Chain A
Amino acid sequence: MFIHIFRYRLLTLLRDRTLIFWTMIFPVILATLFNLTLRNIGENEKFNIIDIAIVDDAGYQENTQFQQTIKELSEGEEAMFNLILIDEDTSKDKLLTGDIAGYILVDDTMKVVINQSGINQSIIKIFLDQYSQTSSAITNIIMENPSAMSDVLSEVDSREVFSKEVSVSDAKPDSSLTYFYSLIAMACLYGSFFGLREVTDIQANLSNQGARLNMAPVHKLKSFLYRSMASLSIQFVEMLILMAYLRFGLGIDFGSKIGLVILTVFVGSIVGIAMGAFIGAIVKGNENSKVGICIGATMTGSFLAGMMVGDIKYLVDKNLPIVSLLNPVNVLSDSFYALYYYDNYDRYILNIMILIGFSVVFCFITYLILRRKKYASI
């Protein structure tokens, strides 16, 4: 019996092209689009060598100390500036056309000319500040203690390091991953279309097929379970295809705990199908409005989990933690995040428990509604 129902259910569902489109093709397309547009989003915060100009006048030519300092910073592997020496009018033109971030006028006191505020301009200013600050410190010391001259100069020239990098995680804090993780979570919850379909097809008042099935001498719960297993199989395989595409096609990093990642996807698929069944059972109305509710719930969840704007997830996590915990999309994407970024499993285990809790609640309520239904007339 199981094999019979399971097999025909598989065939029926696989032939529903709309269903397959939304649950598999659409997430794959969305992932491709995310990959095309979001992978470079981190480039914004990377350091790029800053183009600057120095006005090549008498003031600059006389100040050999400054020449040496700025040359050190414009050469070699870790250069900060890309320096050109030109006259003031050309500098101004180049500044207005955006070829340089700013230009420096060397005189008794330094001056920097810019046309907007920004991080590059701030770095130029800080560099000049430091040059003057160091000069002032040297003057102070030598006035008090002329014999310290050589000590001071050697200390100034030494490129001593005062801090060391301590990493908090082996994984890179790549914020574009939030988008992909919440996309996977969304795809899991799109499994609700399967759950919805199962309930619609088994309730006598919702579809003709359901009416016919209720006449059949098969236990309704058994029949429903077998059919749902067909749904779950398809959904899980679809998710594996999506994950394989993300991992091998697009090179998204899930960390090293692949087994647990796949377990999460499996639990996520169950939550998705259970949610769909729950919505199908509890909401009165036609199928279109139920589909609308599934999409609406998933999309709202995805938004709060950071699929459209990555920062939203963090904002909600910090300010409304209860909303985060009750949002299955967020709990799912948070599981991937915890597996990728954390060394311990506390957060991951909490997330999985919540997901299992969701499934149990959804299934139980669905069960209460579906069982022993009798119809006076349909």
Chain B
Amino acid sequence: MPVFKLCLHIYKKNIKIMIIYFMIFIGLAFLFASSTQTNEQKGFSQTKANIAFISKDNSPLVEGLRDSLEQVATIIDVPDEKSAIQDALYFREVSYVLRVPANYTEKFMSGEDVLLEKTTLPNSVDAIYINLQVDQYLRLAKIYMTSTDIDVAALAKYVAEDMNITTEVEMIQSSEGSQDQSFSMYYFNFMAYSLFSVLILGISTVLLVFNGIDVRRRNSCSPVKANSMNFQFLLANMTFSVICWSIYIVICVLFNFKNIQSGNMLLFMLNSFVFTICAASISFLIGTLVKNRQAISALANVVALGSSFISGVFVPQAILSDSVLKIASFTPTYWFVRGNDLIASMTKITGTHLNELFGFIGVELGFAIAFIALALVVGKQKQLSAES
């Protein structure tokens, strides 16, 4: 099978650059997967915002405020310098900075108007959340102060006792125990970028070589039947695609061992396999269109990176705006990612879910057929124009 062998030879020559894309993928996938692993606890836990607490006053009242803030916040040490506070807020190390001015307690107890200074992220939910607690603490203190005649220490003690009252929380769960699918989801979503790039680089390069006018003329007069040549060519590209796909799958299984028995994994594999076919057919089209190698790496970046960006591979679809998603729905990546998100959300595989999923997979297949058809038409036209 000379044609088949030649294809493999071309793939081998290009393996370096493909490995780069593969390594980027592995790095990114694990970075994101590790950053999303949350300790899922049973029962309710109070959300804690990160805040900075800078106090120029030392008294039981301020101590009490700090303690009660610890119920709703993690207090992070930030140096009391303007640039450090600016950086911490900009990069969200803290979302709220509270500063107690000097002699605050004294003024507060004597009924003077004195305010704490806060620096918040505008309109943020954290600001509202922390404000609730700050205001509550000081309101209680004020109530005690105006209506009774006690000193700061006693006042702080009373307020602290009241602040410890909490409400009963009942947590109801959706009935099925769910497996953690977030790793698989991120992994397969990222595959849309990495596998897509690798396929474009591989398949398009082979096509570019075969479409070279000299090579084509030489091939036409070789004693190999056109049918056999086409068949070997197709077989080589399919083999390449399937091998790439299986490498990604094997790595996913290796690192996510505990979740592989689940049906969800099979669905992920099915979805990604159909996407692989689709990506291969797009690569085919690109291969028939481009004129040189440099253009391939440019196109690989634009097509794979671009479609991944707008389809929610790097940023979840939920955050993207509707107009972006509308544009994205003209790319197969969008349907692949929707499929993955759906599979990850399934705690139990039901008929309605499967119908929806097969709908998405159907769209991907449709794209694959459309692109292959387009590639064949363009290819034929080029051939005719070159021969005439």
B356 in the interface (beta carbon within 8 A): no
B118 in the interface (beta carbon within 8 A): yes
Q: Mark interface residues in B287-315 (1 if CB within 8 Å of A CB, else 0).
A: 00000001100100110011001100011
Contact between chains at B309 and A342 (CB < 8 Å): no
Residues of A within 8 A of B169 (CB): 111-114, 125
B117 in the interface (beta carbon within 8 A): yes
Residues of A within 8 A of B128 (CB): 47, 80, 123
Q: Mark interface residues in A105-129 (1 if CB within 8 Å of B CB, else 0).
A: 0000111111111111111011111
Residues of A within 8 A of B314 (CB): 37
Contact of B91 among A137, A308, A310 (CB under 8 A): A310
A340 CA to B117 CA in the complex, in Å?
A: 24
Given that A134-B140, A163-B98, A164-B115 are contacting pairs, would A151 and B146 also be in contact in the complex, using a CB cutoff of 8 Å? Answer: yes
Q: Can you name the residue of chain A whose Cβ is closest to the Cβ of B99?
A: A166
Given that A47-B124, A137-B144 are contacting pairs, would A162 and B138 also be in contact in the complex, using a CB cutoff of 8 Å? Answer: yes
Q: Which of A152-160, A216-224, A233-241, A249-257 contacts B (4 or more CB under 8 A)?
A: A152-160
Given that A118-B47, A161-B115 are contacting pairs, would A37 and B315 also be in contact in the complex, using a CB cutoff of 8 Å? Answer: yes
Contact of B147 among A37, A130, A152 (CB under 8 A): A152
Contact between chains at B125 and A47 (CB < 8 Å): yes
A–B Cβ pairs within 8 angstroms, 25 of them = A22-B298, A26-B298, A26-B302, A37-B309, A45-B121, A111-B167, A111-B168, A113-B172, A115-B171, A117-B44, A121-B47, A134-B140, A134-B162, A138-B143, A145-B147, A151-B147, A162-B138, A163-B98, A165-B119, A166-B99, A168-B85, A173-B90, A175-B90, A309-B31, A341-B86
Contact between chains at B46 and A122 (CB < 8 Å): yes
Within 8 A of B (CB), among A323-378: 337, 341-342, 347
B66 in the interface (beta carbon within 8 A): no
Residues of B within 8 A of A128 (CB): 167
Contact between chains at A122 and B129 (CB < 8 Å): yes
A26 CA to B297 CA in the complex, in Å?
A: 11
Contact between chains at B148 and A141 (CB < 8 Å): yes
Within 8 A of A (CB), among B152-210: 158-159, 162-163, 165-174
Q: How far is the CB of A118 from chain B (nearest CB, A)?
A: 6
Contact between chains at A137 and B162 (CB < 8 Å): yes
Contact between chains at A155 and B98 (CB < 8 Å): no
Residues of B within 8 A of A110 (CB): 167-168
The 4 closest A-B CB pairs, nearest first, are A148-B147, A314-B91, A33-B309, A163-B116
The CB with the most chain B CB atoms within 10 A, among A22, A137, A310, is that of A137
Q: Can you name the residue of chain A whose Cβ is closest to the Cβ of B313?
A: A37
Given that A37-B320, A43-B319, A168-B86 are contacting pairs, would A137 and B117 also be in contact in the complex, using a CB cutoff of 8 Å? Answer: no
Contact between chains at B86 and A46 (CB < 8 Å): no
Residues of A within 8 A of B46 (CB): 117, 122, 125
Interface size class of B (residues with CB under 8 A): 35 or more
Residues of B within 8 A of A319 (CB): none
Within 8 A of B (CB), among A265-291: none
A128 CA to B168 CA in the complex, in Å?
A: 9
Contact of A36 among B136, B174, B324 (CB under 8 A): B324
A40 CA to B93 CA in the complex, in Å?
A: 19
A208 in the interface (beta carbon within 8 A): no
Residues of A within 8 A of B166 (CB): 125, 129, 132
A207 in the interface (beta carbon within 8 A): no
A92 CA to B173 CA in the complex, in Å?
A: 11
Q: How far is the CB of B259 from chain A (nearest CB, A)?
A: 21
Q: How far is the CB of B146 from chain A (nearest CB, A)?
A: 6
A114 CA to B319 CA in the complex, in Å?
A: 24
A140 CA to B163 CA in the complex, in Å?
A: 13
Contact between chains at B315 and A132 (CB < 8 Å): no
Residues of B within 8 A of A80 (CB): 128
Beyond known contacts A29-B306, A162-B139, A175-B92: 8 more, CB 8 A cutoff: A36-B309, A115-B173, A125-B167, A145-B147, A148-B148, A163-B117, A168-B97, A337-B90
Contact between chains at B309 and A112 (CB < 8 Å): no
A110 CA to B168 CA in the complex, in Å?
A: 7
The CB with the most chain A CB atoms within 10 A, among B46, B117, B305, is that of B46
Contact between chains at B91 and A311 (CB < 8 Å): yes
Residues of B within 8 A of A48 (CB): 125
Contact between chains at A161 and B135 (CB < 8 Å): yes
Contact of B72 among A95, A126, A314 (CB under 8 A): A126
B109 in the interface (beta carbon within 8 A): no
B272 in the interface (beta carbon within 8 A): no
Q: How far is the CB of A299 from chain B (nearest CB, A)?
A: 8
Contact of B90 among A109, A167, A341 (CB under 8 A): A341
Contact between chains at A162 and B134 (CB < 8 Å): yes
The CB with the most chain A CB atoms within 10 A, among B45, B87, B159, is that of B87
B321 in the interface (beta carbon within 8 A): yes
